[in-house]
Homo-oligomer: A and B are copies of this chain.
């Protein structure tokens, strides 16, 4: 990750001639001290590679920086030092900082949405990605939105350098235990279906008939009685459908959006507005998702994915006393949903599953 661009300091007065002649020393000083302080290798820090004064009162630094002192960090670091020098010696203040023509260069070829704030253009070529930012004012620089953008870009780069999961495990040692051939080697899913204990409902969804429900309840009760309750957990009841904002807070929308299910409201509470769709379904006896979709709003919820989501909501504005911790709650109030389209099998890997969590 590399940054290039211009830092503009808007001064409160025109720069005097004396300052101009002194700039070379100030820049050298900045490059040797605050711009590389605590960065390890100098290339991780920032460097002023050119400077000039325009319009009399705008001090312009051309900067190249690494990831430890990003260009906007450099602007703030240098500001502090500059303000000292300018204030003491010339009684000049710094009115504003502007970043212009900032380009963030990433290793690897990345897709970056042009809808992301401050991203003006993206160029991808020869294993590198150039991200052109729009002009940033001092108020922008201090916003978390810029930090989030840069953190995102850094993570994209790292993820690519780090590679996928498959490369990162290897067998250290195998235990000496001989692999016994289990006495029962049939597929229990097939047997359960044949004897009518489970019945296919839809992709990754099953109906559990009373004998199988009984069996699962027994296993659940053992878990509750021997583990959950002795550990002091109490039952709470969590909703099973969550507003999208909750998924932002938990990080699921960023990390697992490809395996989540989304929920939408009907376009209206007035059935008269559905009349044409109802007629269509009535006569054709079909309900194509595309047609139904026209009468449904964009998805404002997602279905319970990882059980814990309502905790974020519950405690989001709470201040807790230390004595009240840890909070020991469990929930078994309904199913969770994961679109494991690539990996479903029998009742082992399903789209809709029950759990105590």
Residue of A199, A238, A265 with most partner-chain B CB within 10 A:
A265
Interface-facing stretch out of A10-18, A20-28, A95-103, A113-121? A113-121
Q: How far is the CB of A50 from chain B (nearest CB, A)?
A: 30
Residue of A234, A248, A282, A314 with most partner-chain B CB within 10 A:
A282
CB contact list, A226-248 vs B, under 8 A:
234-245, 247-248
Q: How far is the CB of A343 from chain B (nearest CB, A)?
A: 9
Interface-facing stretch out of A32-40, A70-78, A328-336? A328-336
Q: Is the CB of B276 within 8 A of A115?
A: yes
Residues of B within 8 A of A126 (CB): none
A279 at interface by CB-CB < 8 Å: yes
Q: Is the CB of B115 within 8 A of A280?
A: yes
Residues of B within 8 A of A144 (CB): 285
Main secondary structure of the interface of A (DSSP, over half): mixed
A313 at interface by CB-CB < 8 Å: yes
Q: Is the CB of B254 within 8 A of A260?
A: no
Residues of B within 8 A of A352 (CB): 239-241
A206 at interface by CB-CB < 8 Å: yes
Residues of B within 8 A of A152 (CB): 279, 282-283
Q: How far is the CB of A11 from chain B (nearest CB, A)?
A: 32
Chain A interfacial positions (CB closer than 8 Å to B): 111-113, 115-117, 144-145, 148-149, 151-152, 199, 201-202, 205-210, 212-214, 216-217, 234-245, 247-248, 253-254, 256-266, 268-287, 289-293, 295-301, 303, 310, 313-314, 329, 333-335, 337, 339, 341-342, 352, 354
Closest 9 CB pairs of A and B: A334-B334, A293-B298, A113-B276, A208-B237, A210-B234, A289-B298, A244-B287, A205-B239, A258-B271
Some 11 contacts from A to B, beta carbons below 8 A apart, are A113-B276, A116-B280, A201-B310, A201-B313, A213-B237, A247-B287, A248-B281, A254-B282, A259-B266, A266-B339, A293-B298
